[in-house]
Each structure stands twice: as C-alpha cells, then as structure tokens.
Amino acid sequence: MPAALPDASILQILTSAQRPLPSPSAVALELMRALDRRDLGMRDIAKIARKDPALVARMIQLANSAIFAGMRPAVAIEEAVLRIGTDGLARLAIAMSLMQATKSATVEGFDLRRYWMTSIQRGLVFQHLSQRVGKMPSAEAFSLGLLADVGLLAMVVSLGVEAVTSDAAGSLHSLGEQQRARHGFDQGDASAVLLSHWGFPVALAQAVRFRPLPAETGSNREAQLAECVALSRSLQLHPDGMEPDAGRMRRLAEHLALTEADLQGVLASAAQDMASMATVFEMKLEQKEVDAEFDRLRRALAAPPLLLDPVADQVLVVSQDDGLRASLRQALQSAGHAVVDAATPAAATDILQVQGPRVVVLDWADGTEMAGLCRSLRQAHGPRIYLLALSRGMDQHSVLSALDAGANDVLSAPVLPQMLIAKIQTGARATRVLAASEAERSHSQRTQRTLEQRNAELLQAAGTDELTGLGNRRALDAFLPMTFAQALSEGQSLSCLMFDLDEFKVINDRLGHDVGDQALRAVGLVLRQQSRGMDFVARVGGEEFMMLCPQTGVDAALRIAERIRVAIAAPQPDLPPLSVSVGVAVGAAGFPDAASLIRAADQALLQAKRLGRNRVCLAPTSSAAAG
C-alpha cells in the first residue's frame, strides 16, 4: 500500500491531469475571498454576485425555495443575500458554478446526473440534520453537504472512473480503503483538499474526510461536525450494488443523540424538498423518482438492527472427561467457535450466568446430574438455548431420557467432527434467529411507544426558525388555514400583525451579519414575551415576522402592535437603535380566505413603511381592500 500522500501532493495530482478539473467560476472564488474581508457588507457581496447574471438568477430562485422563502418573493440579489447569508451564498456559488461547468461534460462510465442528484440529496439531508443537532445555519450546512463528495468527481476526471469503482459490492468506506491502497488518498481526502483550496474554513474542509467510526461521541464541535457529515453520507442515495449501512447509520445517530425517528424525519423532509431544490440547480426530477430513491433508505432504516451476536457462536462443553472436553474444543475451535468448558454442572451453571452461551454440549455419561442440569436449563431458558447430548450408547432408553430432559438432539460418542459441527451450527443458527425475532419485536414495541412523542418533536423541529426559535413559514402554512376556518365558522375575530425590522439592510451593511442576527433574535424575543398562549408567532422572511391573534378585535390588536413596537424601540445592550413597522388586519369576516387576510396585513405594513417607518397601520376590514 502506498504511503498516505500530503495534501499538497493530492492537489497536484488532481489539478495536473491532462483533462482539466472542473473548477468554480471566477465570481464564485471572488465571493469566497470576500468572506475574509470584514469591511465588505451585504451590498458589496451583491455587487460581486451581479458580475454573473446566471448566478444571480439561481440565487434568487434559491431564496424563494421552501428552505428560505419569505412572505413576499425575493426579486433582487440583496434580498437573496439577506435570506441565504453571505457565507452560505458564497459557498453555494462554488457548487452552482461547478455544476454548470460539468453540465455539458461527459465522462465515460460515470453518471454525472446521478452524482449531482446524490449531492443535492446529501446537502438537504445534512441541512435537516444540522437543524436537529444545531451545528450550522441552513445555507452553510446545505453547501457543505452538497460538496462533501466533490473529491469523487475530481478523482473521476483526473484518474479515471476506475478510481471510484469498488472491486466488489460493499460500503463507501470499503471503497475508500481501496482508493487509499491504490493511490495513497481517498475521495474524502480529495474533497477536503479541494474545499480548503477554494477557501472553505479548515474545520469544514477537514470534516469531509473519511474517518473510522469512533467508539465514543465526539468531544468537540469539529468531531461532532465530522460525525454529522458521516451520517449524511450514510443517509445519501447509494448506487446499485452498494447497500445502505443501517448499522453505521444507527451508531452515528446515537453519537449525535438522534433516534431512528429523527432519521426518518430527516429523510421525509429531504424528500419533500428534493424535486424543488433540483429545479434550482436546473435538474428535473419527478416526485415518483424521488420517492423511489428514498424508499430504499427508509426500508433499510426501518428494518430492526442486525443482531451482532457472538454469544450465539460460543459453545459450552460440560463433561467430567478431560480428554472428551479437549477433543471437542479442538474440533469446534477449528470451525470458528469460541469454546468454554466445565467439569461439573455447578461450574457450568456459573459460566452460563456470567458468559451466557446459548449452545451447550452435555456428556450424558455423567449420569443423573447431567439430566438434572439439562432439565433446569430448559426450564430457565426455554427455546432460547440449544442443548446437544452426547451418549456413549445410542440405545432407545438413553436417547429418550435425554430428549425427555429437554435436549434438542442426541449424538453418539465418539462423534465425527463434521457431524458435531453441523449440529452445533444448526443450533447456533436457531438461537440467533429466535434472538433476532425477539429483538425485532422489542424494537417495534419501543418504536411504537415513542412514535407519538417523536412525531411531535419532529413537527416542532421542522416548523422552527433556527435563528429565533419562533415558528417558520412551514409552520405558518400548517397553522393558518385551520385557524382562519375556525374563526370564520365560530364568528370570532382573528387578527394578523405583520412586523418588518426597519433599516435591517443598513444594519447588516454597516455593522455586519453577526449584529444583524442579534437584532433578529432580539425582535423574536420581544414577540415571544408579548404573545399569549393562544397566539402564533413566526419569522416568515429575512426581517419579517408575523403574529396571529385568535379572538382579538381591532382595538386589542392595535394595542398589542403598539406595545410590541415600543418594546422593540427600547434601547438594548450591544445593539443599535431598533424599530419596526407594523401592519394590522382583522378578520376573519370580510375576507374570502386566509391569504387575503395576510395580503391585507402586508399592504398595511407597506403603508407604515411609506409613512416613515416605526409606526402601526391598520388595513381596511373589507375583501375589496384586502384583495
């Protein structure tokens, strides 16, 4: 095996091949360099992006996708930067330009469409995983998952498709071992080297390397980030001949304090977003194609854990005859069984209590004590233990006495090694199947007991804005129609309050995105503190928030809006002066549907902006004004 190559040598191999390596566009690389300049604001980032009109169009489309959509469509690159974030936008520009560079390329024996489909799916999986474990913002997580296996593409181009082809069906990690044996590096190393070369932070670049599964949970953020990347790879779409490794999925999930229900939720969310996200990357996917791809992963994950059961292959030999014990040990060990032995039933009982072997060979020549041991083992363990009796004489009485005491089978001693091994392996297989069946039943019961609780948690996670902890647009879409219909049928008032943080783009430009994020959290905190238990509060865009207040008329809604406006305008430590413009609409009567109520509040918000900001405006309560 060649020695592991240093990163500089790997980069030279990847970039000096006869066939040029697909590279990010000049604009994408300029955006990455701009991240290191703290003097550049959102408008500067937008100005760089405008050098590539196609990139601008795709970023605006991405800003309007399910992951980032606000109440109003984004129509300018500044709005896209605001929703996606500067770091996320720059790193996604790398991926988008790479995909564009390979769009018309062909590599014999390599399915580029499948590669990019898997990359998009892995990006979505990593993004939804990050929401649950709190490691990265959405856009940055999606971009890292999307590019986590860019080294595979680089190795195909520079070394040929055989560099990423496994010698036999196996896992992604077995392929990595073969690559290291052939080339001195694997596709994970290649990915890390390229991401570092393109300007990704060291911690993110190193996280995509293949690593052995640690025995314990990672003790720092970098280790946990690497485990999150590894889990997203385990949950990615696999080519034919490479089955998902459900055991590895579960072990990584345990390290990240995630359950099987969490992983199923991640897959469900990714499947829901897959087709629309593929459209952003100019790839057409039918939903039935997406569902078929995800079904294999869901089935692998839903199957009960494979029983890793060395105990089933351990054999206990009980006999007073030292020579018999030695000969049986030799025969069984040659067949791969672990063997323990005991000279007396009492010693055998102690071994069974401590080590728990489920295959036992009993020397029936030892008389009534052995029959008593056989009977007690059968009573204690039932069918979970395999008992094989060795009888010196195969007369009918001996055989019947052994079977009557609970033995599964009887062999004549001295016994042929082949016959002994065949019987032992049959018994071991039977106990393993029974144990697996019981494990499956227990697994199903545990899953059933926790399903309702986990479903509630998953729904909450999917409907929560990760920055403020408020509801998000998805949660609003689920809550609003039901609440509007209930208010309409019961003749109750339903007030909609729309908030927009004034001059938020100026805050981002002058003070940076960290301060901008703090400002959004501060607004979210005020809204949460000022809301009642029955109210619904959500962040529905970059700097836009909404509060739905059931059973709340015009006067009460205006008082709530004014109270929140004043609270946000109060000076706050480490923040510039903040203010919000508020639009209020009161229904449900007078509005044909929930969307009309929202539009009315939005129009009132725009009126508050036009009148000078930092004020509350009320929408007319009529369907004509709301339309």
Give yes or no for residue 45 having a pLDDT over 80. yes
In the structure encoding, which two tokens stand for residue 83, read together?
A: 């929703």
CATH code linked to domain 111-302:
1.10.3210.10
Looking at residue 358, what is its pLDDT?
A: 86
Q: Is 543 labeled as catalytic in the residue annotation?
A: yes
- pLDDT, one tens digit per residue, over 211-265 is 776 655 556 777 888 888 988 988 888 765 566 677 778 888 888 888 877 888 8
- 336 burial (CB, 10 Å; 0-12 / 13-18 / 19+) is exposed
CATH code linked to domain 310-436:
3.40.50.2300
Ramachandran quadrant class, 241 (left: phi over 0; alpha: psi -120 to 50; beta: rest): left
In Å, what is the CA distance from 439 to each residue of 152, 264, 313, 451, 457?
Answer: 38, 20, 17, 18, 26
Give yes or no for residue 626 having a pLDDT over 50. no
Q: Which of 108, 543, 544, 562 is catalytic?
A: 543
- pLDDT, one tens digit per residue, over 380-394 is 888 889 999 998 776
Q: How far apart are CA 458 and CA 227, in angstroms?
A: 21
Looking at residue 464, what is its pLDDT?
A: 76
The answer to pTM > 0.75 is no
Whole-number mean pLDDT of the chain?
83
The pLDDT-based confidence of 455 (bands split at 50, 70, 90) is very low
Q: Where are the domains of the chain?
A: 20-101, 111-302, 310-436, 473-626
CATH code linked to domain 473-626:
3.30.70.270
Give yes or no for residue 457 having a pLDDT over 70. no
Looking at residue 312, what is its pLDDT?
A: 52
Amino acid at site 305: P
